[in-house]
Amino acid sequence: MGNPIKLGLAGMGIVACVFFTVAMLWAELGMPSEIDFPHTIKLLRAESLTTTMVEGYNGMFKSPTETYLTGKKAEGPLGDYVYAAMIALAFFGGAVAIMAVGSEDETEKTIVPAKK
């Protein structure tokens, strides 16, 4: 992949995909202020990593997200709405990365040429 623009676009897509994939965990935990760690996180001894992640995402997303969703009269756990948004953004970031990497060649390489 020699084109620096495509390389940069693929890199940004990968970073966005990973960022929003990790945000899905934050949304799945219910956007907590106080963390009651699930057994899996305790088993992996990832409490400090999870605490840092939750505090970071709370600082970036929690207040504006809650304000917007409560203003729209969202019903049920707000984390479910945020989870749906984060998975959509993760898919979009992955799609951008795949598009940038896959557009290097104009020829399709998955088609087997027919024998003559």
What pTM value is reported for the model?
0.71
CA distances from 37 to 19, 22, 34, 47, 51 (A): 21, 16, 9, 7, 9
Residues 108 and 37: their CA atoms lie apart, in Å, by 47
Number of structural domains (the chain) is 1
**pLDDT by residue for the chain (116 residues), tens digit each?**
468 888 888 899 999 999 998 888 888 878 887 777 777 777 778 778 888 888 888 888 888 888 898 898 888 888 888 899 999 999 999 999 888 887 555 555 666 767 77
Task: Give the tokens for residue 103.
Answer: 């557009």
Q: Which domain holds residue 67?
A: 4-102
CA distances from 74 to 24, 69, 80 (A): 19, 5, 10
